[in-house]
């Protein structure tokens, strides 16, 4: 048998023009009387073959051998995905045997796989015409047509396949899907009816018909198909659940509850049934039942993590509503218990804790998420942000360093790393991190301002006052009302005793905006102190001391009282500052011990 006869060709006749059809066995077969239809088809086939033979004289043995070798070589290159070589060989075979269905089929396949859809369609059409009984030729043609969004043509191809090829009823399902894709619902239903007539009642048929009835807004028939599915599969909860969901979606809540409970009888731990019940009770305004069903659903490991996350995201949008927070926290904790090795579980739980003000717990939960998935930049960002907010300086440096190994081009990580070094009194390392991050933030004015604000503090620590002032001025040029920078800049100017009028103007604006902020009041008082306006300084500090007992502010108050001549009051203020703890200047101990002002 020739090589071409072995690969995807019709068994009704040889693929090599002019060759004889070989019998299936050596034994002679008895002659069979043909019907009128068969005689007509035979006559038509002989006429076609005669025309083909006239148009294309029989090949010599050498030409036939060459064609078959080229075809086999082309098939090999298709398998190797070397489509240019495949097409080269197959086209040469085609010039010798253009009416060979197998060659046309392989040319169509090679063109389709290489993206040449138009030629693929042409060769596939030729293959189908040459061998109307080979289902694979139809399937390839339909694929080429669908790839070009020629859905009507693909549908017609499938319809021809089902009509022309014996035992091809299984393709009725794909034909129905094509009708559905084009929203040809009556045609889809008719096709499924044919499938049902051929294969009997199948779940797939009933389910597809149910979906069609829903799209036609024919709820009674859709529910009837659902009942048929349940009756045919009495121990299968998924069809019961689908029926319950249908009832719930159409506001038939008592029926939804009844059928969901039926599913729970089949599978008591089924989380989907619990969620359907929760939704139905929510629509009936029964919050206690909603919570009960949700808690039971979330305790089940069978509840998929993505579905749990979607539900929790809905609650996140309502936080920090105190009415929602307890349930959201409980569901988040249950998600972690049910999925203890899923980074998503810890991530969403951390988000819930963050939104409900449990920042320390959120930071630790995010760290748990990173144990299972270090690839999520947002998790690292949340961790270092919370480290900074919680004043966990050592952790901030450790975590920002670890994050930077994975995401070295993320400017915010360099920012937090610089902040960590600044808090650790390591200004040189802080400047290095902040300057590098600032370069990465080019084009982002807001981020660059944040870097400049920290660089102003870092250069101040290094006593590089020119760079410190330049950084602060850059922030204020972009955002004149950055009150944090206005406060810090004016305070450091007061400490240096420089540009005091500028310092007073900036600090005055800050206090005007935040008249009860003790830190800002202290800064303004210290600028006035440096200007020797001790009465004004005293007034500002006394206002600050109504809301704070900060050691630094108490010490400043003592200094002002000393300058005003109230030495006893000054010593008493210094003593209170000493008892208040950290925050005062290194000179405080000496002031208390010697009861004298030192600057």
Q: Which residues contact 378 (CB under 8 A, 6 or more apart)?
A: none
Quote the tokens at residue 326: 């307890």
CB 316 within 8 A of CB 355: yes
Give 324-362 pLDDT, tens digit per residue: 999 999 999 999 999 999 999 999 999 999 999 999 999
Residue 87 resides in a domain: yes
**How far apart are alpha carbons 451 and 359 in whole angstroms?**
24
Residue 120 resides in a domain: yes
Q: Which residues contact 275 (CB under 8 A, 6 or more apart)?
A: 293, 294, 297, 303, 307, 311
User: Where residue 113 sits, what CATH number does that domain have?
Assistant: 1.25.40.10
Q: What letter does residue 35 receive in the DSSP assignment? A: P
CB 103 within 8 A of CB 90: yes
How many structural domains are present in the chain? 1
Q: Which residues contact 470 (CB under 8 A, 6 or more apart)?
A: none
Q: Which residues contact 515 (CB under 8 A, 6 or more apart)?
A: 521
Q: What percent of the chain has pLDDT over 70?
A: 90
Note the Cα 188 to chain centre separation in Å.
Answer: 34
What is the signed CA dihedral for 180, 181, 183, 187, rounded to 10 degrees? -40
Q: Angle 534-544/518-530 helices, nearest 10 degrees?
A: 170
C-beta neighbour count of 584 within 10 angstroms: 22
Instruction: Using the CB atoms, write b or e for 317-355: b if 16+ within 10 Å.
Output: eebeeeebbebbbbbbbbbbebbeebbbbbbbbbbbbbb
**How far apart are alpha carbons 345 and 337 in whole angstroms?**
9
* 223-235 mean pLDDT: 77
Q: Angle 551-563/567-580 helices, nearest 10 degrees?
A: 170
Quote the tokens at residue 573: 């203020």
Residue 72 resides in a domain: yes
Extract long-range pairs of 562-568: CB within 8 Å, 24+ residues apart: 562/597, 563/529, 563/532, 563/534, 563/597, 564/534, 564/535, 564/538, 567/595
Q: Quick check: 39 pLDDT over 90?
A: no
Q: What letter does residue 5 receive in the DSSP assignment? A: G
- Please report the pLDDT score of residue 411 as a whole number: 96
Residue 483 resides in a domain: no
Higher pLDDT, 184 or 458: 458
Quote the tokens at residue 313: 């995201």
CA distance between the termini of the chain: 109
C-beta neighbour count of 398 within 10 angstroms: 14
Q: Quick check: 23 pLDDT over 80?
A: no
Quote the tokens at residue 447: 């981020």
Which residues span the domain enclosing 158?
A: 1-10+46-166
- Please report the pLDDT score of residue 257 as a whole number: 94
**How far apart are alpha carbons 208 and 198 in whole angstroms?**
16
How many residues are given for the chain?
Answer: 599
Higher pLDDT, 535 or 20: 535
- Please report the pLDDT score of residue 212 as a whole number: 81
Residue 157 resides in a domain: yes
CB 359 within 8 A of CB 385: no
Give 523-536 pLDDT, tens digit per residue: 999 999 999 999 99
Residue 89 resides in a domain: yes
Output the pTM of the full model. Answer: 0.65
Residue 573 resides in a domain: no
Residue 16 resides in a domain: no
Give 127-157 pLDDT, tens digit per residue: 999 999 999 999 999 999 989 988 889 888 9
**How far apart are alpha carbons 341 and 352 in whole angstroms?**
18
**How far apart are alpha carbons 121 and 112 in whole angstroms?**
8
Higher pLDDT, 239 or 124: 124
CB neighbour class for 205 (10 Å; exposed up to 12, middle 13-18, buried from 19):
buried
- Please report the pLDDT score of residue 179 as a whole number: 81
Higher pLDDT, 309 or 68: 309
- Please report the pLDDT score of residue 501 as a whole number: 96
Average pLDDT, the chain: 86
CB 259 within 8 A of CB 244: yes
- Please report the pLDDT score of residue 15 as a whole number: 38
Give 494-543 pLDDT, tens digit per residue: 999 999 999 999 999 999 999 999 999 999 999 999 999 999 999 999 99
- Please report the pLDDT score of residue 169 as a whole number: 78
Quote the tokens at residue 29: 């077969």
């Amino acid at each position: 048998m020739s090589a071409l006869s072995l690969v995807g060709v019709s068994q009704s006749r040889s693929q090599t023009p002019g060759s004889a059809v070989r019998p299936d066995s050596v034994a002679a077969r008895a002659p069979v009387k043909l019907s009128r239809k068969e005689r007509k088809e035979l006559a038509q086939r002989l006429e076609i073959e005669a025309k083909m033979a006239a148009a294309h004289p029989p090949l010599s043995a050498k030409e036939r051998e060459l064609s078959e070798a080229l075809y086999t070589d082309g098939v090999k290159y298709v398998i190797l995905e070397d489509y240019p070589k495949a097409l080269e060989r197959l086209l040469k075979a085609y010039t010798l045997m253009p009416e060979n269905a197998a060659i046309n089929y392989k040319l169509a396949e090679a063109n389709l796989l290489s993206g040449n859809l138009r030629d693929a369609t042409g060769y596939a059409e030729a293959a189908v015409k040459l061998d109307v009984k080979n289902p694979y030729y139809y399937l390839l043609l339909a694929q080429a047509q669908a790839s070009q969004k020629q859905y009507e043509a693909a549908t017609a191809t499938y319809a021809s396949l089902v009509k022309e090829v014996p035992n091809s009823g299984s393709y009725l399902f794909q034909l129905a899907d094509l009708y559905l894709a084009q929203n040809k619902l009556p045609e889809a239903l008719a096709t499924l009816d044919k499938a049902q007539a051929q294969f009997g009642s199948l779940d797939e048929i009933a389910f597809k018909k149910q979906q069609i009835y829903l799209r036609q807004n024919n709820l009674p028939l859709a529910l009837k198909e659902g009942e048929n599915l349940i009756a045919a599969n009495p121990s299968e909860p998924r069809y019961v659940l689908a029926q319950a969901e249908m009832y719930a979606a159409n506001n038939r809540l008592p029926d939804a509850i009844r059928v969901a409970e039926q599913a729970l009888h089949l599978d008591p731990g089924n989380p989907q049934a619990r969620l359907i019940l929760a939704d139905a009770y929510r629509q009936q305004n029964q919050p206690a039942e909603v919570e009960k069903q949700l808690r039971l659903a979330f305790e089940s490991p069978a509840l998929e993590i993505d579905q749990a996350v979607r539900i929790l995201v809905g609650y996140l949008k309502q936080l920090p509503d105190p009415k929602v927070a307890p349930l959201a926290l409980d569901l988040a904790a249950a998600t972690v218990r049910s999925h203890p090795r899923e980074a998503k579980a810890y991530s969403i739980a951390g988000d819930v804790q963050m939104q409900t003000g449990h920042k320390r717990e959120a930071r630790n939960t995010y760290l748990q998420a990173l144990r299972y998935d270090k690839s999520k930049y947002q998790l690292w960002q949340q961790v270092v942000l919370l480290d900074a907010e919680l004043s966990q300086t050592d952790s901030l440096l450790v975590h920002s360093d670890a994050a930077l190994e994975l995401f070295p081009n993320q400017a915010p990580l360099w920012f937090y790393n610089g902040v960590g070094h600044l808090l650790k009194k390591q200004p040189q390392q802080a400047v290095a991190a902040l300057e590098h991050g600032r370069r990465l933030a080019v084009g982002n004015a807001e981020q660059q301002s944040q870097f400049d604000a920290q660089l102003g503090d870092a250069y101040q620590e290094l006593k590089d006052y020119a760079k410190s002032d330049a950084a602060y001025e850059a922030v204020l040029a972009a955002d004149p009302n950055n009150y944090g920078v206005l406060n810090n800049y004016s305070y450091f100017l007061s400490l240096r005793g420089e540009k005091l009028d500028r310092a007073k103007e900036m600090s005055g604006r800050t206090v005007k905006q935040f008249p009860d902020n003790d830190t800002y009041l202290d800064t303004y008082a210290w600028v006035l102190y440096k200007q020797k306006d001790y009465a004004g300084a005293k007034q500002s500090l006394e206002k600050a001391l109504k809301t704070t007992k900060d050691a630094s502010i108490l010490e400043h108050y003592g200094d002002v009282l000393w300058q005003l001549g109230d030495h006893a009051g000054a010593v008493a203020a210094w003593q209170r500052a000493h008892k208040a703890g950290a925050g005062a200047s290194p000179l405080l101990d000496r002031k208390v011990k010697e009861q004298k002002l030192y600057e």
